[in-house]
Amino acid sequence: MFRDGLMSGKKVLVTGGGSGLGRSFALRQAELGAEIVICGRRQAVLDETAQDLLRAGAPSVDIFSCDIRDAAAIDEMFDAIWAKGPLTGLINNAAGNFVARTERLSPKAMDAVLNIVLHGSLYCTTAAGRRWIEGGQPGTVLSVVSSAATSGRAFTVPSAAAKAGVLAMTKSLAVEWGPYNIRTVAVAPGLFPTEGAWGNLRPDGSDKIPQAMEVPLRRLGDHSEIANLVAYLMSDEAGYISGECVTIDGGRDLLGGGGSGILGFFDFTDAQWETARKGKG
Ligand SMILES: CCC/C=C/C(=O)SCCNC(=O)CCNC(=O)[C@H](O)C(C)(C)COP(=O)([O-])OP(=O)([O-])OC[C@H]1O[C@@H](n2cnc3c(N)ncnc32)[C@H](O)[C@@H]1OP(=O)([O-])[O-]
Ligand SMILES: NC(=O)C1=CN([C@@H]2O[C@H](COP(=O)(O)OP(=O)(O)OC[C@H]3O[C@@H](n4cnc5c(N)ncnc54)[C@H](OP(=O)(O)O)[C@@H]3O)[C@@H](O)[C@H]2O)C=CC1
């Protein structure tokens, strides 16, 4: 789909790039010639993906065990990255989410999601932007949000609220940092199977209808489809796109509020919620 070397000369940090969609984004850009940096909390996952990235063609791969809830740790990671050469792009991909009845969430449960999605994305974005502005370098920040950012999403309210904040950040910085030649963009994925999303959002008994039937195109997304979109948006070919969020969901959001994926939760029993919470769903 793209010319070889589309991302040559680029160096991109993918938060949560060791697994799930982040891994697919990193792999696609590695194939297109980008130097890749990935971070996450699980060192073993990062180690394994780093080997895959090198095999895919990345000229260099750096990995950082870093919890993006920790602003100081992020700053250390960015210092270490810049010591070897500045990034040209950042992908805010790492996220935390789970289904729960909102009125029963503890403050810690709310913070667990908000701190990763909203605070983590803002910490990483400003860590990159500050360095680009000081160095007089252009840059691109792509944040992975969700249609929940605009439509809301019952039973995952902290995530929906955090994604709305990240989208507002994207649009605000497109204006504030435009004069520095820093682009900020977002993608809103629909259903792309990953361990994290299915493990946290799809407990047993929650699917009222087959998952593909939640989507007008009658199928789930393939990682290659969103990885190509992300590669395009990170490349210079998208150099005049800023402040925009591209939805890639087979038309699912047009069914209203993220489709019918949440319908099962209205009838969930206390026992089912407990099982979901323990991660046995
Ligand atoms: C909007 C749609 C689109 C988005 C899609 C995605 O993002 S898909 C990507 C999805 N991918 C991922 O999510 C991957 C990353 N996810 C994670 O690391 C975890 O799921 C995390 C977000 C809980 C953070 O982990 P951690 O180790 O920092 O947290 P911890 O275990 O120490 O708990 C902290 C607090 O939260 C509470 N609590 C926890 N679960 C539940 C629950 N089900 N029910 C109720 N509460 C729950 C827990 O009880 C505690 O509160 P307490 O009792 O002390 O007052
Ligand atoms: N899959 C889907 O259908 C959809 C996904 N999305 C969004 O796409 C993105 C990727 O989702 P997906 O791949 O499914 O999620 P996964 O849960 O599979 O992957 C999340 C990644 O983020 C990392 N991560 C989580 N918390 C932290 C943290 N505190 N610090 C650093 N890294 C962290 C995880 O690594 P580790 O645990 O090692 O830290 C993991 O590599 C997210 O932004 C999600 O909200 C949106 C809509 C739908």
The yes-or-no verdict on residue 257 having pLDDT over 90 is: no
44 pLDDT band, cuts 50/70/90, is: very high
Strand-pair partners of 139: 182
Q: Whose CA is nearest to atom 3 of ligand 1?
A: 146
Q: Atom of ligand 2 at shortest distance to CA of 148?
A: 47
Compute the average pLDDT of residues 122-136: 99
200 C-alpha vs ligand 1 centroid, how far in Å?
A: 8
Lowest-confidence region among 24-38, 63-77, 121-135, 259-273: 259-273
At 2-11, the pLDDT tens digits run: 999 999 999 9
The yes-or-no verdict on residue 281 having pLDDT over 70 is: no
Ligand closest to Cα of 69 equals 2
Domain extents for the chain?
11-277
Neighbours of 65 (CB within 10 A): 16
Provide the pLDDT for residue 260: 67
Complex ipTM, two decimals?
A: 0.98
Task: Provide the CATH topology of domain 11-277.
Answer: Rossmann fold (3.40.50)
100 C-alpha vs ligand 1 centroid, how far in Å?
A: 10
96 C-alpha vs ligand 2 centroid, how far in Å?
A: 6
Provide the pLDDT for residue 263: 80
For ligand 1, residues with CB inside 6 Å are 95-98, 100, 106, 108-109, 112-113, 146, 148, 153, 156, 159-160, 163, 196-197, 200-201, 277
CA atoms within 13 A of residue 188's CA, in its CB half-sphere: 24
pTM for the predicted model, two decimal places: 0.96
Provide the pLDDT for residue 266: 85
